[in-house]
Amino acid sequence: MKRDFEKFDEFNKILEAENVNNSESKLLPIERLAILFDDGKFKELFKYSSVSPFAESFKDGISCAFGNVNGKPIVAYATDFSFEGGSIGVHQSNQILELYRLAKNHCIPIVALIESGGAKLMDTIHVQESLAGVLREAVFSSGFIPQITCTFGHCIGASAFISVLTDFVIMEKDSNLSISGANVNKAATGEDVTQAEIGGSAIHTKHSGSAHFVTSGEENTIKKVRELLSWLPQNNKEKPPIKEYIETEEREINEILDLLPDDEMKPFDVKKLIKLFTDDNEFFEIQEDYAKNLVVGFARFNGIPVGIVANQSLYMGGALDTKSFRKAIRFINTLSAYNFPMLNFADVPGAVPTSDEHKKGILNLGASFLQALGHHKNLKLSIIVRKCFGGAYSMINPKISGGDIIYAYPNASIGIMSDKAMSSVLGKNSVIREKIDTLNEKNLKLTHPVFAVSGAYIDDIIEPKNTRIEIINVLKSFNTKVFNDIPEKTLYNFTL
């Protein structure tokens, strides 16, 4: 027995030597994991694992662990770029599969800290089979347990697909995420571009939408995971974590009156509006640089976490295009999976009708957006801030589509089109012209919210300064929604 422990002492000395970081620019996998877990404490798994029983080293390109983040258990793995480029072979895949087994069986999140050149070529067909198993686990864990990926340096091939299958992707600003490297791309297609031009962080945060966050530095990237996990439940059976928040009295927010322009077509920053009403003026924005005409993210009201979707009139007047539909669909599906109430601040002139947007598939994506809204099974609260015209009316979750509570501000406009557009289209009809003039004499318009209220299509017209009070009242009153309208089925047929 003594001899056995002496052997493990020898193993530990080897491990200790291998975990000395000789790089000034990169952290070792074990150091990355230490930043992730509370107080740097975690239990490493498979630490005596090696690529061969005859190997004189325990470096095998991956470190796996479990521990607590924000006081709650998770599992995580970090690839090691200093060992064969962090490539993933059968040996590494088996460890990742075991982590997924633990995560799924115990209903806890899994985090991947990836820096990898892709599949281990010398493992040939065997690694393809193993990686197919990892991809399968990521697919079937989607919407069941939170999956988060951080990318550092290169993340190529199978590693890239594993990353984008997860719920959230956080890219260190100098990392890249791509199907292949620049050299392979040039050989296959003749295109001569840099790795950053293929899959740099700017590509995926501004154009493809594959990444949700971009950060500067390894430590900040990993800390973003900790912050993100503070918003998420452990699995799809739990509700998002509520934080204790003490508010001595209901607060009117008079600053909103200075923020909203008198002209409904004049742009303003909706993020400022959101932060006026949230706890501690905090808003955790997601995909900030992608489809800037739509804002999505998490916030709390009296400690209750909510997913927010809001039109941003500073960009494209807040109109909906293919990118904003993609952004909304992904976020709403996440809210549905992890039991978030949804709050929508609507200020939308409609969908972009150009031929270019039709070529990009705006009809299909608009339909997918409607599917995501319809299948969101939790509380849906909408506030029409200024305008809501045309097909974008669906964005407020009308009651016939499953919306729960819909409010409008007194100066909101709701209808097929603005009164100005209506006059232009129908103004030559004397009967209609007379009706419009009669309304104008009464200081009313066809799009006035009073018509929506009279039809019981919206629940109330509220004072903007009371918005926070009204939101909290709804969240407290309707927190036990049981959704029975969707027929039982495995999944809906996505309109892609």
Q: What is the pLDDT of residues 117-176, one digit of tens each?
A: 777 767 778 888 888 899 999 999 999 999 999 999 999 888 899 999 999 999 999 999
CB 111 within 8 A of CB 120: no
Q: Is 315 helix (H, G, I), strand (E, B) or coil?
A: coil
Lowest mean pLDDT among 78-82, 139-143, 206-210, 481-485: 481-485
Distance CA 449, CA 312 (A): 21
Percentage with pLDDT > 70 across the chain: 87
Q: What tokens does 371 get?
A: 């599917």
- DSSP designation for 206: I
Q: What is the pLDDT of residues 191-226, one digit of tens each?
A: 999 999 999 999 999 999 999 999 999 999 999 999
Closest CA relative to residue 307, chosen from 280, 289, 329 = 329
Instruction: Classify residue 380 as exposed, middle or buried by CB count within 10 Å of its CB (0-12, 13-18, 19+).
Output: buried
CB atoms near residue 105 (< 10 Å): 8
Lowest mean pLDDT among 72-86, 290-304, 390-404, 429-443: 429-443
496 vs 346: which has the higher pLDDT: 346
* Res 475 pLDDT > 50: yes
The residue with tokens 């740099």 is 200
Closest CA relative to residue 387, chosen from 447, 446, 436, 324 = 447
β-pair type (413-415, 284-286): unpaired
Distance CA 325, CA 314 (A): 17
* Res 364 pLDDT > 70: yes
* Res 52 pLDDT > 60: no
β-pair type (62-69, 72-79): antiparallel
CB 163 within 8 A of CB 112: yes
Q: What is the pLDDT of residues 397-448, one digit of tens each?
A: 887 778 899 999 999 988 887 766 666 666 567 777 777 777 777 766 778 7
Q: Which are the contacts of 71, defined by CB distance < 8 A and separation ≥ 6? A: 38
19 vs 373: which has the higher pLDDT: 373
CB atoms near residue 314 (< 10 Å): 15
Q: What tokens does 103 get?
A: 């995560």
Gyration radius from the chain CA atoms: 26
Q: Is 456 helix (H, G, I), strand (E, B) or coil?
A: coil
Closest CA relative to residue 317, chosen from 258, 264, 366 = 264
395 pLDDT band, cuts 50/70/90, is confident
β-pair type (294-301, 284-286): antiparallel
Diameter of the chain measured on Cα atoms: 103
Helix (H) or strand (E) holding 176: strand 176-178
Q: Distance between alpha carbon 286 and the CA centroid of its chain, in Å?
A: 5
217: left (phi over 0), alpha (psi -120 to 50) or beta: left
* Res 492 pLDDT > 60: yes
18 pLDDT band, cuts 50/70/90, is very low
* Res 256 pLDDT > 50: yes
**Residue type for position 455:** G
CB atoms near residue 24 (< 10 Å): 5
- DSSP designation for 418: -
The pLDDT of 271-282, averaged and rounded, is 97
Using CA atoms, how far residue 338 sits from 20, 232, 237, in Å, is 39, 7, 8
